[in-house]
Chains A and B, each alone.
Chain A
Amino acid sequence: MQMKEYKPLIVAFCCNWCSYAGADLAGNNRLNYPADVKIIRVPCSCRVNPMFILRAFQRGADGVILCGCHPGDCHYTSGNYYTRRRMAMLFSMLDYLGIERERTRVEWVSAAEGAKFAATMNDFVAQVTALGENKRLEDLRCKR
């Protein structure tokens, strides 16, 4: 029997003003990044509640990446500063509970950084693929 190639499911929360536009730019420039990345547009990276990240894992994500404007460039002035603290605390807690720290990441991608967006996604997908399936934060009832 041939083993099916493992394809991770990656959820990327992208802020409307910078990272989502950055993803657009990556598309316009025909830069490659894996189709395993599912982008969810949020008004600001600060909109992402820790529960969103956990829910993503529950519903089958193998990795969650959160992209926002560079600190200082937030459309709403200070949203991403809050995100930064919030996610630092959440990631530290997930690590404390023994969940692989490589499954989560925060990256600042501006609207002009299409190339950075593609490179980040390539790198993150490779990192999660190396880890394999998410076993520690999965909900068997939501198994595909």
Chain B
Amino acid sequence: MQKITRDQLITKAVELLSNGTVSAVLGWQKGEFDYDITPAVFTTEEEIKNNFVYNDFCGANFSKYLVAKTKKLEGKILVFLKPCDTYSFNQLLTEHRFDREKVYAVAIGCEGMADVVKLKNKVDGIISIDYKDDAMYVDTLYDGTVKVDYADVLAERCINCKSKKCVAYDELMGEDGEVIDSARFDEVARLEAMTPDERFAFWQNELSRCIRCNACRDACPACTCEKCVFDNPNSGVENKAPANSFEEQMFHIIRAYHVAGRCTDCGECSRVCPQNIPLHLLNRKFIKDINECYGEYQAGAEVGSRAPLVDYTEGDLEPGEVFERGDNNA
């Protein structure tokens, strides 16, 4: 259950729109069902009152939308950012991807978002969802109303939330939190402790499900190149399902690599993956390695920080030495 309500956000959006501070609002609207929320741009009060929604399924990170939206827009755009989105927002500013002057950012406190997949695994035939204080009450086709605890459907990225602190905003709604010392690298450490054969089998199993829909790339707030290597017709891997395990591995290694050092660990890649591949584990591996080898670094924590992979020191460890850190398995 989110502490900030839909009505509060609508009031804020209407207020800013009517007093001329902003000329458009980037927000969420209902998709086909109650739980598939679609990002949308609203320009009139009426649209907002009719279509704007905000609930536990509004996980979309809006930072990336600003890159395209601010280009064409006259005046400012209002954007609602959850704490993890503010990191991506800062990271994009660091990379000069949009004009800060054209954005009015409202940070909203977040209680953690729900994962649709987890909900669907629990209940079948969802008709509508009622968000009560204690739990969500799901109206279903077959079992009447089912009570589902928020904790049971909390998204993985929110269970291991790295920060409830909003690092960039013009205005804050709700309470600002703190950076959390989460256990987000535990799963990576578990994989690292496996033998290479087990790891290979694990990733074969996960990556072989990839259908190359490119959703992970498209949703990623760090992936903002206008021309992508994976759209290059000469690459041999342009917009098609992977033909074999090599293509799966290559796509996922390169995708994660391109955002290494810039990934804020917002978890959008795993959220949007229709095949439920735990893509964040690849990104987190890079973050963990960077933290261990080149010092703690959180992308997007401040504007203008230098990403570790475009920086160096004379005493960096040699590539062969990365395996000799700590107890790293043989």
Contacts and interface: CB of A to CB of B under 8 A. Distances in A.
B124 to A, nearest CB: 35
B309 A85 contact: yes
A112 interface: no
Contact of A92 (B199, B254, B322): B322
A58 B257 contact: no
A141 B244 contact: yes
Interface size class of B (residues with CB under 8 A): 35 or more
Interface in B241-286: 243-244, 246-247, 249-250, 253-254, 256-257, 260, 282, 285-286
Interface string B284-310: 011001100110000000000000111
B185 interface: no
Contacts of A82: 309-310, 312
Contacts of B196: 95, 98-101
Interface string A49-91: 0110010011000000000000110000010011011111111
Contacts of A85: 293-294, 308-309, 311-312, 316
Contacts of A95: 196, 322-323
A141 B242 CA distance: 12
Q: Would you call the interface of chain A mostly helix, strand, loop, or mixed? A: helix
B319 A87 contact: yes
Given A71-B314, A81-B312, A93 B285 contact: yes
Nearest to B321: A88
A58 B257 CA distance: 18
A138 interface: yes
29 contacts: A51-B229, A51-B250, A54-B249, A54-B250, A58-B250, A82-B310, A84-B312, A87-B319, A88-B289, A88-B316, A88-B321, A89-B260, A90-B257, A91-B322, A92-B285, A92-B323, A93-B285, A93-B286, A94-B253, A95-B322, A96-B191, A96-B192, A97-B253, A98-B197, A101-B323, A106-B318, A137-B246, A139-B244, A141-B244
Interface of B: 191-192, 196-203, 229, 243-244, 246-247, 249-250, 253-254, 256-257, 260, 282, 285-286, 289-290, 293-294, 308-314, 316-323
